Amino acid sequence: MASGERTQWSLVINKVDLRGVKPGSQAWAEARTTVTASMEAVGAILVTHDALGADLRQALFDGMPEFFALPLYVKRSLISGYINGYIERSPSSNMPAYESVRIWETTDGGSAHNLVDDVVWPHSNPKFWDTVGTFAKNMMDLERTVRTMILEGLGVQQEHINAQHKSIVHSVRQSRYGTLPEMRTTNLSMLAHRDNGMLHVVVQHQVEGLEVQTKDGSWIMVPPDPDTVAIIAGEMLTVATNGRVPACVHRVRTPSNRKRFSVLLSSKPKDGVTVRPLDELVDAYHPLQYNPCNFSEYIDFRYANSVVGRDLISVDGTLKAFCGKNLSVDNVIGLLFKDEEITANLTKKKKFKANNESSSSKGKKVALSSNFFDPSTRLPCNSFYNPFETKTAPSSSSGALSISTSSVIPRSTSSTSDGPRVGVRGASTLMLTRSNEVIRRIPPHELIDKCLLQITTHERSLLLEEVINRRHELSIEMSMEMILVLHTQVGHMLEHVTGLYDPPHYYIDLDNVHMGDSYGHWRSTLDLLKIAMDMG
Ligand SMILES: O=C(O)CCC(=O)C(=O)O
Ligand SMILES: [Fe+2]
């Protein structure tokens, strides 16, 4: 790497040498400052350490090609026991040459042995799994050290740090990035994303690939130095630190177009654990940013939010949409959405119900589009990332789609009705709220499944006019996709046209809703995005 580039990354991601650094020492305090600063800036730190000596590294990366060369049926059989699991190459995904295997720690305390016990194949190659076990143990220590430094650096008390250690499990994930001619255009073998856990130690070997995004949006290549690992923050660390440590946005790009192997050691909350911002990190200067976040529920939510061609995992709003504070007072642009759950919550709304029934009776059922799942595996084919974690395809909503007619009312001038509201937030997630309480989150794939794309210029201008003029009484027909597009567009429009965006607080008052039944034919997500872009 040229020295200029090195200077650039060293400005934003710090590098720290932890060799021989003992807790409580002066060196520890200095390293802690460096680690914490880098984590707060970009959610990443480069660490030089001795947890992966030359021999161990060699054994680890020598064993991986042999593992991935095993017959597919053997690798598939690893989706069992303590492995969860083997991710096979999927030509229809946006990572057609990627395969990966991950094993989770199985018990408290995380003996590395548990990480690799009882795996089907390893019995035939105990040496390699010993290697993986040693690697896991060393990296778990390193992960704990760095997480301790971050939390100490932010002012968290030792007892809370220890409690967090007890609530964590680790996994090792070995990945193989193959090459295909069609990948040469972008050289991207993993799209930009945030990891969902606490901390992720990324070990690269000889071939470059990992890139980290800085706050100004530029990408920094992390060199595959042999004695250095990148440690990146996941979203649960963001919640635990009350937003002080951003989840690192990263991707894998290999301009040299070579085969590549990497190994990750990740920490995540144990099953059933709810992550909360740590007490010390919430005060008058740092108001609470996140509600308690049940990790397993968040995972379901996150993968349900993946859509073809556009992985919402990498979109800012996903975590906030799930557990951000003040959900119902953010940017809200309305629409109405019907399914049984919502309907059940709205039975009091007579008009709603009556219309609802009339549109259902037209028999227009909505089903999940096969675009979103690989029909053979039922795994989301768009998800570049760990399809395993989507245990089952989300069930399709059984209700017919109804489109609302609604009036958009500026929050500031609205009456304080306790009625239900429907809102749209950052990650294309719709939330139905009542009295500021979220009744239901509607993930984008459901919306997109149900959306239609016949937005006429006339409709758009009507709605814009409506919004801009802040007319309270005028209701206009809005179709689902129109809302979807609008929610990404209207902020900008408002900003440009009226200067009102800062942020726009709009909501739909369902008391004024008149049902319509503006159905249309299905179009693909791509169409949606194209239209959104055309508009923008
Ligand atoms: O292989 C790498 O360098 C990073 C992989 C990664 O980001 C992931 O698996 O989430
Ligand atoms: Fe990642």
pLDDT, tens digit only, all 536 positions of the chain: 333 333 333 457 899 999 999 999 999 999 999 999 999 999 999 999 999 999 999 999 998 998 888 888 777 766 543 345 778 887 766 677 888 888 766 443 444 444 444 454 555 677 887 888 889 889 999 999 999 999 999 999 999 999 999 999 888 889 999 988 766 677 788 878 889 899 999 999 999 999 998 887 889 999 999 999 999 999 999 999 999 999 999 999 999 989 999 999 999 998 889 999 999 999 888 888 998 999 988 876 666 544 333 333 444 556 876 787 743 322 222 222 222 222 222 222 222 223 333 332 222 222 111 122 222 333 332 222 222 222 222 222 222 222 222 222 222 222 333 332 333 322 234 444 333 444 444 444 444 333 322 333 444 445 445 444 433 332 333 333 344 444 433 333 333 333 333 222 222 222 222 222 222 222 222 333 333 333 33
Q: Which atom of ligand 1 is nearest to the CA of 230?
A: 3
Ligand that comes closest to the CA of residue 203? 1
Q: Is 175 in the pocket of ligand 1 (CB under 6 A)?
A: yes
273-280, long-range: CB within 8 Å, 24+ apart, which pairs?
Answer: 273/167, 275/236, 275/239, 275/240, 276/239, 276/240, 277/239, 277/240, 277/241, 277/242, 277/243, 278/151, 278/156, 278/160, 278/164, 278/240, 278/241, 278/242, 279/160, 280/154, 280/155, 280/156, 280/157, 280/160
Q: Is the CB of 101 under 6 A from ligand 1?
A: no
Neighbouring residues of 69: CB distance < 8 A, sequence distance ≥ 6:
none
* Residue 262 Cβ < 6 Å to ligand 1: yes
Q: Which atom of ligand 1 is nearest to the CA of 175?
A: 1
Task: Say if residues 396 and 443 touch (Cβ distance below 8 Å).
Answer: no
> Which protein residue has the closest C-alpha to ligand 1 atom 1?
262
Say if pTM beats, i.e. exceeds, 0.90: no
